Amino acid sequence: MPKIPGISSGQAVRVFEKIGFQIVREGKHIVMSDGTRRLVIPRNNPIKAYTMGAIARDAGLTPADFRDLL
């Protein structure tokens, strides 16, 4: 079982908004930023667990932190 579950792009956006990221641009991908870091979230439903893990790591979250924010 993956450490981070595959979730929808809407759920991912809500998680990252909780830690201070804001939507900068929307299109085929959702671009979010906190002023220093930029995240690119695909509009897949669900986003694969491996991809979601990489995005969470780019945001500075551990798998446990990410699951807690869900």
Predicted confidence at residue 1, as pLDDT, reads 38
pTM reported for the whole predicted model: 0.86
Is residue 54 one of the residues assigned to a domain? yes
3: in domain:
no
**Which burial class, exposed, middle or buried, applies to 16 when counting CB atoms under 10 A from its CB (0-12, 13-18, 19+)?**
buried
Please give the Cα distance from 17 to 13 (Å, whole number). Answer: 6
* pLDDT for the residue numbered 6: 78
Q: Rounded distance, CA 2 to CA 28, Å?
A: 25
- The answer to whether position 1 is within a domain reads no
User: DSSP character for 59?
Assistant: T
**Domain at 53, CATH number:** 3.30.920.30
pLDDT of amino acid 40: 95
Within a domain: residue 2?
no
* pLDDT tens digits, one per residue of 9-68: 999 999 999 999 999 999 999 999 999 999 999 998 889 888 898 999 999 998 888 888
